[in-house]
Amino acid sequence: MQTLIALVDCNNFYVSCERVFRPDLIGKPVAVLSNNDGCVVSRSKEVKDLGIKMGVPVFQIQQLINQHQITLFSSNYTLYADMSSRVMSTLEAFAPSMEVYSIDEAFLDLTGVCHQDSIAYGDLIRKTVVRATGIPVCVGMGPTKTLAKLANFAAKKWCKTGGVLDLSDLVRREKLMRIVPVSEVWGIGSRTTLKLKQLGIHSVWDLATQSSQRIQKQFNIVVAKTVLELNGISCFQLEEISANKQQIVCSRSFGRRLTGYKDLFEAVAEFCSRAAEKLRKQHSVTGCMSIFIRTSPFNSQEPQYQRSATIKLVAATQDTRILITAADRLLKEIFKTGYGYQKCGVQLSQIHSESMPSQCDLFDFTDNDLPKDNRPLMTTIDQINRRFPKAISIAATGFEQSWKPKSERISPRYTTDWQDLVCVK
C-alpha cells in the first residue's frame, strides 16, 4: 500500500488565534510581536502583502503601521497554547498516528485511511478544523514527510489549490519541483542552499535528481536522506512520542535595562523556576546548569558586557531551590556593576530520566549549603500551580519582577481565564 503522509499547518497561527475572538479584524492587517514587543513574529496576509518580512523590528516599520493602521498584538502564549491543543486534538480523529511537529503543525499518517480521494479527505480536515476551532489550516500530502512539507508550502502559496495538495502523483510533483527554489525544502537551511547553488542546484527538481550517494559525500547524511525523501522513499519516520528534551533553555529580554544585582537575580531565579518546571514535567533531572547575562548588542553607545557561567551539580536534581541557589553562586561570579543588562537566561543540560538513580547520591556528604532535593515538595508545588497558576513561587523570584518583558498589546486570555471571556451582545 502506498504510504500517505499529510502535514497540516495552521495559517498565520498567532494572528488567526487573535482573530477568532476579534472577528472585526478579519480582512484587516494584523501582526503579532515577539516577546518584549520587539519584532514581528506572525503576519496576516494583508501585512505580508505590504512587504513586511518575518522578524522585522517594529521600529523599522512604524510608518507602515501608522499608514495602514496595522493592529499589533503582544504574543499571548497562553491563548496560542490552548488553541494549539484544540487544533491537535481535532486532528487526532483523522489518523491512527500523528506527530505534533510544532505549535501549529502536525504530521498525520493517512496510509490506508483515505483510499481514493485524498483531496476530499484533506478538504474535510480543513473544514472540520476551521469549524471546530476557528483556525484555518492547509493540508499538504505525499508519500514522505519531506514531500508532505513541500505540498503544504505549495498549498499555502497558491490559493488555486484550495489549501489542499497531494504530491503522490509523479507528473504533478515534477511540475511543482521545477518552479520551487531548493531553499523551500524541509531541512535545507541557508548555508546548505548557498553551497547547493554553487553546485548549480537551484530548484527542488535539481536536488531531487541528484544521486543521494554523491550528495552524502558532499554534504551529509541528512541532505542525502532528503534527496531520497523527495523521490518518495521514506527516511524520516513519524515521531509520535515527543522525545524528552536534552536541553532546556529559558531566556528572555527585559522590559527595561537592569543594573542592580537584585533585579537581575530575580529574573534568573524566575527562569530557574520555569526551567525546573519543564524538567519535572518531562520527569527528568539535570546535572549541569549554565546562566548567561548580556547587555544590548543593538546599542553600541552603551558599554558592552556578556558572560556565561556553568556549574556541574553535585547530584542531579529537579528541585527549583537547588537550581536557584546554584544560580546565585554563578551570577555572583559573572555579575559586574556599571552595565545595563538587557537579557539573561538559564540553560539546563545533562538531562536524565528521574527514575535513573543519581550516581552522585553516594557521595552526597560533601556539599554544601544547597537544600536537599525534595521531589514530593516540588510535585506538590507543581500540582498547586497547575490548578492556581503562579500561586506558589520561590521567594527569590521576587514580587515586583521589574524585569518582565513589555507586552503592552496583549489580548485577554479568552480561553483560560473566567475573567477574560469574550463578550457577546
Q: Which residues are at the interface with other proteins (CB under 8 A)?
A: 23-26, 85-87, 89-90, 128, 131-134, 386-387, 414-415, 418, 421-425
Q: Is 332 left (phi over 0), alpha (psi -120 to 50) or beta?
A: alpha
Q: How many CA atoms lie within 13 A of 92 on its CB side?
A: 9
202-211's contacts with Cβ under 8 Å and 24+ in sequence apart are 203/177, 203/178, 203/179, 204/150, 204/176, 204/177, 204/178, 204/180, 204/230, 205/174, 205/177, 205/178, 206/182, 207/182, 208/177
Minimum CB distance to other proteins, residue 24 (Å):
3
Give the relative orientation of helices 261-281 and 320-334 as an angle to the nearest 10 degrees. Answer: 140
Q: What is the dihedral of CA 154, 216, 107, 73, to 10 degrees?
A: -60
Minimum CB distance to other proteins, residue 97 (Å):
18
Q: How distant, in Å, are the alpha carbons of 253, 261, 288, 295 from that of 258?
A: 10, 8, 26, 9
The residues, any chain, with a CB within 8 Å of residue 272's CB and separated by 6 or more, are 250, 289, 320, 323, 324, 327, 346
- Residue (90 or 342) nearer to other proteins, CB: 90
Minimum CB distance to other proteins, residue 385 (Å):
10
Minimum CB distance to other proteins, residue 19 (Å):
10
Rounded Cα distance, 83 and 81, in Å: 6
Burial state string for 239-258 with b = 16 or more CB within 10 A and e = fewer than 16:
eeeeeeeeebebbbbbbeeb
Q: With contact defined as beta carbons under 8 Å apart, do 176 and 169 qualify?
A: no
- Residue (299 or 380) nearer to other proteins, CB: 380
Pairing, β 30-33 against β 164-166: unpaired
- Residue (127 or 214) nearer to other proteins, CB: 127
- Residue (23 or 181) nearer to other proteins, CB: 23
Minimum CB distance to other proteins, residue 18 (Å):
13
CB atoms within 10 A of CB 363: 10
- Residue (92 or 117) nearer to other proteins, CB: 92
Minimum CB distance to other proteins, residue 420 (Å):
9
- Residue (134 or 371) nearer to other proteins, CB: 134
Amino acid identity, position 364: D
Q: Which residue has the cell 542552499?
A: 193
- Residue (35 or 128) nearer to other proteins, CB: 128
Minimum CB distance to other proteins, residue 131 (Å):
6
- Residue (90 or 317) nearer to other proteins, CB: 90
As given in the structure block, the three cell numbers for residue 311 are 556549574
Minimum CB distance to other proteins, residue 338 (Å):
45
- Residue (157 or 386) nearer to other proteins, CB: 386
Q: With contact defined as beta carbons under 8 Å apart, do 178 and 203 qualify?
A: yes
As given in the structure block, the three cell numbers for residue 3 are 504510504
Minimum CB distance to other proteins, residue 362 (Å):
35
As given in the structure block, the three cell numbers for residue 299 are 546599542
Minimum CB distance to other proteins, residue 91 (Å):
9
Minimum CB distance to other proteins, residue 291 (Å):
31
- E strands within 118-235? 137-142, 164-166
- Residue (132 or 311) nearer to other proteins, CB: 132
- Residue (191 or 387) nearer to other proteins, CB: 387
